């Protein structure tokens, strides 16, 4: 798509994409195990499959907000670029695994033929999106990438993730002169890899709103609990918001306004990154948070307001989870509508109405607020 000369950078989303990322084949099995028990006639596609991303691409190309989208080709990351976030031994492990035809990195995380190239494309495409914003060529950029990245830690893979796309982009922003970067992760799972990468830094505020799932094994030792606040100079700059199952639209909006907005206001970043997963939706097989399109639209609006106030409108969006093949695309559309402040909604929600009771979630969020106010130094200033 060619940029419209009448479309300002604040009313346009520059989408960075490369179809080579579709070559990451995660296979079939029982959910994400890759296993065939021998007594089922029909196996699942692995939830992190190419179909989900194909629909995200198509809704932006042929859907109602397509006039606000400008397309840009992604690229492969250089190995030297990966070392800004990842340990050399870990990068070499991935290279050797690819040379040998693949490896099961951890539960549900399969490096198959084509996966390493797709991972390099995801990382490089995200870096290109960030550079586009840093160079002033656009205000809002969206890295539409897979494999996802926010669970990948500096030294290990985790949760379908090999390279931490968002973490690499944050480090690029810091290396390019940004003083402070705020990361808001709305994927249903804790963004443990990004948090781990900046756990001792006071230049990066990592905020993660996630299902209260705890640790899930050696690849994911972090719990995502409220007391994982960072270490050393980074103490207080990792804010976890573990939310009860079924929190829903009103609960998420309350968390954004009660916890996320005040923290970003205190931190005053000059760059903001939205780590976007649609697996918090009411339909997702990997989450139970019951967000609908209205909830995602509200989150998009809040993130737009924060970007306009603190980063001169600059916002990088990085794609993560979201495993319902059709509804994830709908929720993406709603998120970007919110960021663009478009109204009324351009697509009706196939859910229509989803029952909500945010009373318990509000109590949990209020308790997290009290804990943060008592224990996070920069919030007291």
Question: Which residues participate in catalysis according to the annotation?
Answer: 151
What is the C-alpha to C-alpha distance for residues 207 and 239, in angstroms, rounded to an integer?
5
Place of tokens 């604040």: 10
Q: Are strands 69-73 and 103-106 parallel, antiparallel or unpaired?
A: unpaired
**C-alpha–C-alpha distance, residues 379 and 381, integer Å:** 6
Q: What are phi and psi of 306, to 5 degrees?
A: -65, -40
Beta-strand relationship, 140-143 and 315-319:
parallel
Q: Kindly give, in sequence order, each residue whose CB lies less than 8 Å from that of residue 348, ignoring residues fewer than 6 positions away.
A: none
Picking from 226, 213, 155, 153, the residue whose alpha carbon sits closest to that of residue 187 is: 213
Q: Answer whether 161's CB lies under 8 Å from 150's CB.
A: yes
The residues near 8 (Cβ < 8 Å, ≥ 6 apart) are none
3-state SS class at 272: strand
Task: Say how far apart CA 172 and CA 161 lie, in whole Å.
Answer: 19
């Amino acid at each position: 798509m060619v940029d419209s000369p009448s479309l300002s950078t604040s009313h346009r989303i520059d989408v960075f994409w490369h179809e080579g990322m579709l070559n990451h084949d995660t296979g079939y099995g029982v959910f994400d195990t890759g296993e065939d028990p021998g007594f089922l006639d029909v196996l699942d596609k692995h939830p992190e499959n190419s179909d989900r991303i194909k629909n995200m691409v198509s809704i932006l190309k042929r859907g109602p907000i397509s006039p606000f989208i400008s397309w840009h080709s992604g690229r492969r990351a250089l190995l030297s670029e990966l070392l800004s976030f990842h340990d050399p031994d870990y990068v070499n492990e991935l290279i050797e695994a690819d040379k040998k035809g693949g490896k099961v990195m951890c539960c549900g995380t399969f490096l198959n033929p084509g996966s390493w190239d797709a991972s390099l494309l995801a990382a490089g495409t995200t870096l290109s999106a960030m550079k586009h914003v840093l160079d002033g060529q656009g205000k809002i950029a969206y890295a539409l990438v897979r494999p996802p990245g926010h669970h990948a830690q500096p030294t290990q893979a985790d949760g379908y993730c090999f390279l931490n796309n968002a973490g690499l982009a944050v480090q690029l922003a810091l290396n390019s002169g940004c003083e402070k970067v705020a990361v808001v992760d709305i994927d249903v799972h804790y963004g443990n890899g990004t948090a781990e990468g900046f756990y001792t830094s006071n230049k990066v505020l990592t905020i993660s709103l996630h299902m209260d799932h705890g640790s899930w094994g050696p690849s994911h030792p972090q719990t995502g609990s409220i007391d994982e606040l960072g270490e050393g100079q980074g103490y207080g700059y990792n804010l976890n918001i573990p939310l009860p199952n079924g929190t829903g639209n009103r609960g998420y909006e309350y968390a954004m306004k009660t916890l996320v907005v005040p923290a970003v206001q205190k931190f005053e970043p000059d760059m903001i990154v939205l780590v976007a997963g649609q697996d918090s939706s009411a339909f997702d097989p990997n989450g139970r948070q019951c967000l609908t399109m209205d909830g995602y639209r509200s989150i998009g609006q809040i993130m737009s307001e924060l970007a306009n106030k603190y980063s001169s409108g600059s916002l990088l969006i990085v794609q993560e989870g979201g495993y319902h093949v059709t509804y994830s695309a709908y929720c993406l559309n709603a998120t970007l509508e919110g960021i663009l402040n478009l109204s009324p909604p351009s697509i009706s929600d196939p859910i229509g109405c989803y029952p909500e009771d945010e009373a318990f979630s509000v109590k949990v969020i209020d308790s997290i607020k009290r804990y943060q106010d008592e224990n996070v130094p920069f919030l007291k200033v």
